[in-house]
Amino acid sequence: MKFKVLGSGAGIPSRTRNTQSFVLDVVEEINQYFLIDASEALQHRILDTTIRPSKIRHIFITHLHGDHIFGLPGFLSSRAHQGGEGIPLVVHGPKGLEEWVEATFRTSSSHLNYPIQFNEVGHGDAFDVEGFTVTVRLLDHAIDSFLYVFEEPDKPGALKSEKLRDIGIRPGPVYKEIKSSDTFEHEGIIYETADFLNAPSDGRKIAVHGDTRVIRDKEYLALLDGADLIVHEATYLHGEQEKAHLYFHSEIDDVLMNLSQISYCQLLFSHISNRYDAEMVQQVEGQLAENIRIAHDFLEITIPRDSR
């Protein structure tokens, strides 16, 4: 599993940062990508990667500000001609998203050659997406903005083949039958399958924020606790907590202080204001712990199993 940054900037693009779009690469797990937000020029960003639009079957929009959605109509149109014909797509997002997309397509006389479904999300929603549990949390922004928490199912432990051989069962199709059952019989003896399995691997948890002020309540922090990767905005890098709060955004030190109450494996800051040049960003990142990074366009983060 990998997390890919297609755009890491806030508000308007700069020469070095496009506005926010991410891809959760679960090709190894389910042969798909999850697209999170769709900034302007998304189509061009994808052309600079190996991502196949036809393998994007689910899109998650955090909120309806333009820097997070202006690339969506173009992507939907181009997907129709990049292997997406007949392949369904689900777009998850706030109320009003479907109306905006339909109005854009209607006025531009655009048409799709694949079915599209809209799933309107709200605070507290939890639903299944291709075996992943997705939980939605309302954030604190000028308009409704959401956090998406993606939780992978636990992976069953591998069979202890040596232990099976010890009782006289040689490798073959029977191993698959044993693993899929609670008990199995061999030479008149009934065995518990669990006794022949290694411990399961915990499913991974990835939490991706839309724009937000820092949120301090316990329920929110509990939702993030134990995450393998947290992606949080840091429109303001240092010493501007009051300004960040005034404009419904976050400041990096305030976020770090808040998240110090929970455990997580990796933390990625994105949605960086274009007021900060590369030298300043590098200086700030140099002061962070090794598991905390500031996003840049085309950054790719691997999220290994059993990283907690």
Quick one: average pLDDT of 252-281?
A: 96
CB atoms near residue 281 (< 10 Å): 19
Query: pLDDT averaged over the chain?
Result: 95
Q: Is 141 annotated as a binding residue?
A: yes
Q: What is the pLDDT of residue 56?
A: 98
Q: What tokens were used for 92?
A: 């998850």
Q: What is the pLDDT of residue 305?
A: 84
Q: Is 144 annotated as a binding residue?
A: no
Band of residue 238 on the pLDDT scale cut at 50, 70, 90: confident
pLDDT tens track for 38-64: 999 999 999 999 999 999 999 999 999
**Choice among 25, 37, 48, 67 that is catalytic:** 67
Quick one: average pLDDT of 146-168?
A: 94
pLDDT tens track for 125-140: 999 999 999 999 999 9
Q: What is the pLDDT of residue 148?
A: 98
Instruction: Answer whether residue 242 shows pLDDT above 70.
Output: yes
Quick one: average pLDDT of 293-299?
A: 97
Q: What is the pLDDT of residue 308?
A: 58
Supply the DSSP string of the chain, one letter for each residue. -EEEEEE-BSSS--SS--B-EEEEEEHHHHSEEEEE---TTHHHHHHTSS--GGGEEEEE----SHHHHTTHHHHHHHHTTTT-TT--EEEEE-TTHHHHHHHHHHHTT---SS-EEEEE--TT-EEEETTEEEEEEE--SSS--EEEEEEPPPBPPPB-HHHHHHTT--SSHHHHHHHTSSEEEETTEEEEGGGGBPPPBPPPEEEEE-S------HHHHHHHTTEEEEEEE-SB-SS-HHHHHHTT--BHHHHHHHHTTS-EEEEEEE-B-TTS-HHHHHHHHTTS-TTEEE--TT-EEE--TT--
Instruction: Answer whether residue 236 shows pLDDT above 90.
Output: yes
Band of residue 200 on the pLDDT scale cut at 50, 70, 90: confident
Give the largest CA-CA distance in the chain. Answer: 74
Quick one: average pLDDT of 258-263?
A: 97
Place of tokens 């022949």: 196
Quick one: average pLDDT of 174-181?
A: 92
Instruction: Answer whether residue 307 shows pLDDT above 70.
Output: no
Band of residue 66 on the pLDDT scale cut at 50, 70, 90: very high
Q: Is 81 annotated as a binding residue?
A: no
Sequence length of the chain is 308
Instruction: Answer whether residue 177 shows pLDDT above 90.
Output: yes
Q: Is 232 annotated as a binding residue?
A: no
Q: Is 111 annotated as a binding residue?
A: no
Q: What is the pLDDT of residue 104?
A: 97
CB atoms near residue 261 (< 10 Å): 12
Question: Which carries the bigger pLDDT value, residue 32 or residue 83?
Answer: 32
Task: Report whether 67 contacts 39 (CB < 8 A).
Answer: yes
Quick one: average pLDDT of 72-99?
A: 96
Q: Is 249 annotated as a binding residue?
A: no
Instruction: Answer whether residue 107 shows pLDDT above 70.
Output: yes
Q: What is the pLDDT of residue 69?
A: 98
Q: What is the pLDDT of residue 239?
A: 85
Q: Is 245 annotated as a binding residue?
A: no
Our answer to whether residue 67 is catalytic in this structure is yes
Domains along the sequence of the chain with CATH:
2-155+201-302 (3.60.15.10), 161-196 (no CATH)
pTM above 0.85, yes or no: yes
| 132: amino acid identity, one letter | F
Band of residue 195 on the pLDDT scale cut at 50, 70, 90: very high
